[in-house]
Every structure is written in structure tokens, then in C-alpha cells.
Amino acid sequence: MMSRTHPLDLPEIRSRIANSLGRKDLASCSRVCQDWNDSFTPLLYNTIILSKHGPSMESIERNKHLIRHLVIQMCVYEKLRLTSSRHKVVSSIMANSSLTELHLASNSIGHDGAQALCEALKDNSTLTTLNLDDNEIGPEGAQALFEALKNNSTLTTLNLGDNKIGPNGTQAMFKGLKSNSTLTNLDLGYNSIGDNGAQSLSEALKNNSTLTTLYLGGNSIERNGAQALFEALKINSTLTTLELRYNSIADGGAQALSKALKNNSTLTTLNLDDNSIGPDGTQALSEALKTEALKTNSTLTTLYLNYNSIGPDGAQALSEALKTNSTLITLNLEYNSIGPHGAQALSEALMNNSTLTTLSLYTSLIGSNGAQALSEALKTNSTLTTLDLAVNSIGNNGAQALSEALKDNSTLTTLNLNYNSIGSDGAQALSDALKTNSTLTTLYLGDNSIAVNGAHALFEALKNNSTLTTLEFTWDFNEPEGGQALTEALKTNSTLATLNVRRSWFGDKGAQVLSEVLKTTSTLTTLDLAGNFIGPTGAQALSEALKTNSTLTTLDLYGTAIGENGAQALSEALKTNSTLITLNLGGNSIRSNGAQALSEALKTNSTLAVLNLDDDKSIGPDGIQALSETLKTNGTVTITGDLFR
């Protein structure tokens, strides 16, 4: 309400109205008159995605002074066949005195385009983020960019991943990084820089005092390159995140890193996934993580060692470090074949460790014995909040052991047991734990051969549990009592927000059951029915529910055989529904009729933000045209799919 003594002036009123409108309304109102245009257009052009369905190049040129975040998709840049035309566009964009982010990923700009950007960067004083991922700029383009960086004082984030820069291009970066004092994030992943490139970067790191994040994944860096980088870490005092996954530093590189960590006091996140480190390298790292070494290094909080063949010996070494380490918070050991003995060692560490909150042992061959060992640790550990044991063949015995631990544990919030063959007996045991456990919020039980009895037990647990917010599991729905049991559970439960029952043989009957739930539930926000053969009849039932439901924001119907009739039914719901934000209809053969129905709905719907139509080649030219026309006026929705890129 406006004050009588301090009434709002007209520009302020227009500004407040503009801030409350969606993009579609802004686009309409900005054409009313010049005064309204002045208030509405800045918001409309703040963030622009330039695609084949987006605004024209002319409108971009006309309003370039308003754009702060600009994404140019490949399909637009490819239309500019002449190099001179491309350079003109780049120069024009960079002359914008408001632009802060420019994303040109996957546009094949080459070294000529990179050089044009460099010329523009010399005069630009606002750009902070530049994404040139996958552009084939080569060593020449990299050299030009880092020449520009010598004088640029605003750019903080630069992504040059997958650009065929090589060691020569990295050598050219050396001087640019030495003198630049603003760049904080640099991505050079997948550029084949090798050991020589790593050595050049190490020299730059010894002198650079601003870079905090460096991505070097997939660069064929071996022992010598790793040793050079880690020597730099002994001197560098600003780098906090180093990403070296998919290289080959091996145990020699890990040993060099161990020495560096004893002197470095700033690194907090280290990713060494898939580096052939092995148990010997892990032993060296473990020594660096022990208390004696941490008298000088007390900062490393996150360590990724996935795909490193550390085996049970490596797990044993890490467990010794964890017994005394007081800084590590996240440890990922996926695909390391640590086995039950490795799990036993880690369990003993967890009984003493008081800082680790996340442990991932995805696909680690721990079996039921390993799960039982970890269960003992969970009974006394008071810090671990996330435990990933997916794909470990723990069976019903492992599940039963974990369920006993959950009755005592009061800190674990997320437990992933997907693909573990726990069966109905394991599900029933976990259900008993859920009736008394008051901390677990997320539970994954997908693909566990859970039959009718196990499913019913979980439903009973949901009636009493008041903390679980996310549940994923699959079971054979094709039995008459299942629908009734699920309905009763969801109507009683007041906390479950995300339900994933993909590939559960729901069929149209299952969809009808869930549609009844959606009419009354006030908590469910995400429903995943992907891979369930619900057909057009099931889609019709869900459509009726969506007309009255006011909480669901995400609905996944990928590969559910709804066809064009199902898409048409859901389109009717979209005309009135005002809460759904993400709808996945990919892989459903909705054809042009379904696409046209969706386009009609999107003319009035102003809340749907993402419509996924991936893997659907049945949509013909008429359907594509209809959706393309809708995108010109609906500024809220993004349509994903091969036909719309």
C-alpha cells in the first residue's frame, strides 16, 4: 500500500510491476509504449539464450547494452558462414558495456574466432565469465587469449576445455598467467597438454597469486607432469581445487603429491579419479593424511580416488589415516574393489573418526560381510550423513544388518542401496527400521528384486515414518492389493516429497492409483514413472489429477508409451496447472499431433520451465513448427531434444 505522504512516482510503479512479471508478459508489455519499454526491456534482455528459436540477431544488436548473460548456441553461429561475419558478431557483442557472461561452447570458432575475441577483450572491462569449451581454438588461439589476459583486469572464469591446445598452447599460457591478477577459475580439461604442458603450468602456479580452481582432467599427464605440478603446490598459496581425473599419475605421482600436501596449506578439494594410483600410491597419500603430516596441512576436505584399483590394501592404508585425520569430510572410493576386508578396515576407522560426513563405496565388491562390518560402525559413528553402497551385492543379510544399525544411528540422512539384491526380506527389515528411525531422509532401493511382501512392508513403514522425504524403489505392481496399499500409505504420510518408482510395471492401473493420490496429497513434489507402460489411459488419469494438484513440480514420464493421445491429454492439464515446472515426455512417440497440442497449452501456461522431448523422432515438421512458434512468445519454457537444438 502506498503512503499518502510519500507516493510512488510512475517510473517506480513501472519498475515494481516489471519485477513481478514473467518473460512472456514482459515481452508483450515492452511493446506498449516507449516509457513501458524502458522499464520492461532491461529485465527481458538480462539473460539471453541465442538459439534457432530465440530472439533475432537484430534484436540482440539493438538491445546489446542491456544484456549481462549471453549464451550463443551452435546452430546460430554456424549460420554465419563467413569468417568476417562471425568476427563482426563477436566484436559487436564484446563492445557491450554491460555483458558479464558469454557462453560460446561447441561453436567451432577456431583460432581465428579466438583471436577476434582477444582483440575485443583488450577493450572490454565488464566480462567476468567466458566459456569457450569445445571450439578447436588450438595452440594459436590459446596463445592469443593469454596475451589478452596480460592486460585484462575483469575476467575471473575461463573455460577452454576440449580445445586441442596441447603442450605448445600451454607453454604460451605461462606468461599470461604469471602477470594476470584476476583469473580465479581455469578449465583446461581434455586438451592433451601432457607432461610438458603440466610443467609449464607448474611454473605459472609458482608465481600466480589469484587462481583458486584448476581443471586438468583428461590431459595425459603422467608421473613427471604430476611431480612438477605438485612441486608448485609447495609454493602456491591460493589454489583450493585441483582436478586431475582421467590422467596417469600412477603411484609415483601420488607419492610426489603426498610430499606436497605436507607443505601446502590451501588445497581443499583434490580429484584423482582414474589415475592408476593403486595400493602403493594410496599408502603414500594416506601418510600425508595422518596427524603428523597435518601439522602443516590442515585444509584438505574432499578427496576423490574413484577407479584407482586401490584394493583392500589401499582401503587399509586410508583407514589408518582416517583414525587420526580431523579435516577430511568427503571420501569417494567408487570402483576400487576393496572387498569385505577393505570395508572392515574402513569400518574400524569410522568408529574413531569424527569429521567424515560422506563416504561412497559404489561398486566396491564389499558383499554382505562388508555391509555387516559397516553396520557396526554406524551404531557408534555420529558424523557420517551420506553412505553410498550401491551395486555391492550385500543381499538380504547385509540389508538386515544395516537396518539394525539404523535403529541406533541418529546422523545418517542418505543411504543408497540400489542394485543390491536385498529382496523382500531385506526390504522388510529396512521397513522395521524406518518405523523408529528419525533422521534418514533419502533412501534408494532401486532394482533390488523386491516382491509383493517387501513392497507392502515399505508402505506400512511410510504410514508411521515422518522424516523420509525421498524414496526410490522398484517392484512388480501387477497385483491387486499393491495399488490400495500404496494409496493408503501416501495419503497418510506427510513428509515424502520425491517418489521414484520407475520400471515397476505400473501400467495404466498404477497411473490411475497415483492420480488419486495426486488429487489429495500436499507434500509430493517429484514423481518419477519413467519406464512404466502407462499408455494413453494412464496419461489421461494423471492429466485429470494435474488439473487440481497444486504441489507437484516435476513429473517424469520418459518411455511410458503415452503416444499422441497421452500428450494431448496432458496438454489439457497444462492449460490450467500452475505449479508443474519440469515435464519429461521423451521417448514417447507423441507425433506432430501431440506436439501441436503441447504448443497450444504453452501459449497460456507460464510456469513450465523445462519440457523434455528427447529420443522422439516421431515429431514431424508440423509439430516442430508449432513448438518453434510457441517459443517465440513463451519466454519461460526450454524444450530439450535433438529436434530443438
Q: What are phi and psi of 138, to 5 degrees?
A: 65, 180
The answer to whether the CB of 632 falls within 8 A of the CB of 605 is no
How is residue 213 written as a grid cell? Answer: 580452481
List the end-to-end C-alpha distance of the chain, in Å, as a whole number. 46
Q: What is the pLDDT of residue 53?
A: 54
Task: Name the DSSP letter for residue 358.
Answer: E
Give the angle 20-23-27 at the CA atoms, nearest 5°: 110
Query: Residue 599: inside a domain, yes or no?
Result: yes
- Identity of the amino acid at 117: L
pLDDT tens-place string over residues 524-560: 999 999 999 999 999 999 999 999 999 999 999 999 9
Which pLDDT value is given to residue 76? Answer: 47
> In whole angstroms, how far apart are CA 27 and each of 38, 40, 65, 555, 609?
12, 8, 17, 28, 16
Question: Grid coordinates representing 570?
Answer: 496432458
Please report which confidence band the pLDDT of residue 35 belongs to, taking 50, 70 and 90 as the band edges. Answer: low
Query: pLDDT per residue over 295-344, tens digit each?
Result: 556 799 999 999 999 999 999 999 999 998 999 999 999 999 999 999 99
Distances (CA, A) of 604 to 54, 636, 640: 18, 11, 20
Residue 269 covered by a domain: no
Task: Decide: residue 140, CB within 10 A, 0-12 exposed, 13-18 middle, 19+ buried.
Answer: middle
Considering only the C-alpha atoms of the chain, give the largest distance between any 2 of them, rounded to a whole number of Å.
77
Q: 88: which residues sit within 8 A by CB, 6+ positions away?
A: none
Inside any domain, residue 70: no
Is the pLDDT assigned to residue 359 strictly greater than 80? yes
Asked if residue 562 belongs to a domain, the reply is yes
pLDDT of amino acid 201? 94
Domain count, the chain: 1
Question: pLDDT: is 617 or 176 the higher one?
Answer: 617
Nearest to 645 by CA among 47, 52, 78: 52
Question: What is the per-residue pLDDT across 146-194, written as a single tens digit (0 to 9) for each?
Answer: 888 888 889 999 999 999 999 999 988 877 787 788 999 999 999 999 9
Does 49 map to a domain?
no
pLDDT computed for residue 124 by the predictor: 80
CA distance linking residue 148 with residue 94, whole number of Å: 13
pLDDT at position 3 is 44
Residue 7 has pLDDT above 90, yes or no: no
How does pLDDT run across 564-613, given as a tens digit for each residue? Answer: 999 999 999 999 999 999 999 999 999 999 999 999 999 999 899 999 99
Question: In this predicted model, what pLDDT tens digit does every residue of 414-473 receive, in sequence order?
Answer: 999 999 999 999 999 999 999 999 999 999 999 999 988 999 999 999 999 999 999 999
Give the whole-number percent of the chain exceeding pLDDT 90.
64
DSSP state of 503: T
CA distance 350 to 43: 51
What CATH number is attached to the domain comprising 628?
Answer: 3.80.10.10
Nearest one of 489, 485, 476, 418 to 450, comparing CA atoms: 476
More confident residue, 50 or 191: 191
The answer as to whether 23 is a domain residue is no
Are the C-beta atoms of residues 102 and 129 closer than 8 Å to each other? Answer: yes
Average pLDDT, the chain: 87
Alpha-carbon gap, residue 21 to 24, rounded angstroms: 8
- The mean pLDDT value for 24-33 works out to 49
pLDDT > 70: percent of the chain = 83
**Domain assignment of residue 584, yes or no:** yes
How far apart, in whole angstroms, are the C-alpha atoms of residue 336 and residue 346?
A: 13
Whole-number pLDDT of residue 97: 65
Domain range for 625: 515-527+540-645
Whether residue 51 is predicted with pLDDT greater than 70 in this model: the reply is no
Which of 63-72, 99-108, 283-292, 418-427 has the largest mean confidence? Answer: 418-427
User: Does 16 reside within a domain?
Assistant: no
Q: What is the pLDDT of residue 321?
A: 92
Give the span between the Cα atoms of 547 and 555, in whole angstroms. 14
pTM: 0.89
